[in-house]
Structure 1
Amino acid sequence: MEDQLKYELGILIFVLILARILYLIHKITTGFSREATSKRTLPCKTIVCIGSGGHTTEMLTLLNTLTFSKYSPRYYFMAKTDTTSYAKVKTLESVKKQNDSYKIFEIPRSRVVGQSYLTSVFTTLYSILYCIPLILKIKPELILCNGPGTCIPICLISFLLKAAFILDTRIVFIESFCRTQTFSLSGKILMYFADNFLVQWPSLKQRLKRAEYIGQLM
C-alpha cells in the first residue's frame, strides 16, 4: 500500500511539472512573457553566455551599451578552450572599471562546429550536468545569449528550474547578425524557452510573430 502511494505521488508530481512546463512554453510562444511583471529597483544578477568569434563580438558590443551597475553581479559562461573571448571579456570589464562585480566560468562545449547531432547529444548532456550546480549556486535573474551552443545547457537548466518554482529567470536571446533569412539551431530551440527573442533583420521578424526587431548591433 505504501509503495503504491509513493508511485501515485510520483505520477502526480510528474504530471504537475509537465503541466507547468507546457504552461510556460505556451506563455512564451504566445508572447505573454515578453514584458516584466514588475519594475526592478535592485541590480539584476546576470549570466552572459559568450560564444566565440562573431558571437563574442556581438555580445560585447551589446554589453558595452549597458549600464553595468544595473546588471550586477555578472557571470560570464564560455567554453573552456575559448581563450580569445576570455581575454576580450577581461578587457571590457577593465574598461568599465567594475572588476569586483563579475566572474568568468569556463564550461565544456555542448557542440563544436561540424560535430554530428548524434554525438552532440552526449556532449550537451555532459555540459548540462556540469552546469547544474553552477546555476543553483548563482540563481540568475537574467540570462543574455546570442546563439553559441554554450548557451543551450544554461538556458534549459534555468527554464526547468523555473518550471519547478526553484528559480525565476528571464531568458533573453539575440539571434546572430549573420542570420538574415533563417534561424540558427540555438534559435530554433530557444524560441520555445526564451522570454524575449530579439532579431537583427526584419525578415526574421516576419518568420516569428513574437520576435522583437532591434536593428543591427554590428
Structure 2
Amino acid sequence: MAVSSKKILLICSDGGHLAQILELKGMFEKYNYLLVTEQSPATLPLKDNFNVNYLQGRSKGKKRNIKFIVILLINFILSIKILIKHFPKVIITTGSHTALPMCLLGKLLGVKVVWILSFARVNSRAFSADLVYPVVDKFIVQWPHAKQHYKKSIYLGGIY
C-alpha cells in the first residue's frame, strides 16, 4: 500500500489520550505522519514502531503549577521546531494540555486542526478543549451527550 505524501501530525498526552490516538493507526499510517506525545518510560518504546517525537512530560508532585508553566513554555518551543521540520496539512489530537501549544501554533500557520474530545468526556467539559474550541476546524465528540457542551461539535461515534 502506497503512503500518501500528505503530512499529518498527531499529538496527545500520554496515557488514555495516547491510547485513543493509537486506535487511529489504520488511518494515520496511510499518510506521511508524525506522532507527538510526552516522553515517559511508557512512551519510549513507541519509537520502535512509529514515526514519533517527544515533548516534555507533565509535572507531578509539589510545585506543580510552576513546573507546569515551565514545561508548557518548553513544549511551546519544541512545538515550533517540530512544526517547522514536519509542516503538516492537518493536526489531529485527542488532547490534552500537551496538545495546546501545537494546535495554537499550527492554527497561526494555517494548519487545519481536528480536536477529538476524550472518550472519558461523556457529560463534562475539558479545560484544554475549551481553550482551543474557538479556533479548531473540526471538533469531534465521542458521545452524543457531549454535544450539549460543544454546540459546533460533530458526533461520529467512539474511537473504541
TM-score with structure 2 setting the length: 0.84
Which residue of structure 1 aligns with residue 43 of structure 2? 85
Alignment of structure 1 residues 110-189 onto 2, 5 Å:
111-112=58-59, 115-116=64-65, 119-162=67-110, 169-189=111-131
Aligned residues: 155
Which residue of structure 2 aligns with residue 58 of structure 1? 20
Q: Report the Cα offset of residue 198 of structure 1.
A: 0.4
Q: Report the Cα offset of residue 134 of structure 1.
A: 2.0
Relative distance call for 1:67 and 1:157 in structure 2 (3 A) is: closer
Q: Report the Cα offset of residue 49 of structure 1.
A: 0.9
Alignment of structure 1 residues 67-106 onto 2, 5 Å:
68-69=29-30, 71=31, 73-81=32-40, 83-88=41-46, 90-91=48-49, 93=50, 103-106=51-54
Q: Contact 1:60/1:89 (CA < 8 Å) preserved in 2? A: no
Deviating beyond 4 angstroms after TM superposition, the runs of 4 or more aligned structure 1 residues are none
**CA RMSD between the two structures:** 2.2
Unpaired runs of 5+ in structure 1?
A: 1-41, 94-102, 163-168
Following the alignment from structure 2 to structure 1, what is the Cα–Cα distance between the partners of residues 137 and 67?
Answer: 29
Relative distance call for 1:88 and 1:138 in structure 2 (3 A) is: closer
Which is greater in Rg? Answer: 1
Which residue of structure 2 aligns with residue 16 of structure 1? none
Amino acid in structure 2 at the alignment position of 1:211: S
Offset from partner CA, 1:144-179 (integer Å, 9 cap, x none):
1101322111111111222xxxxxx11111001111
Larger proportion of helix? 1
Larger proportion of strand? 2
Q: Report the Cα offset of residue 142 of structure 1.
A: 1.0
TM-score with structure 1 setting the length: 0.63
Which residue of structure 2 aligns with residue 11 of structure 1? none
Unpaired runs of 5+ in structure 2?
A: none
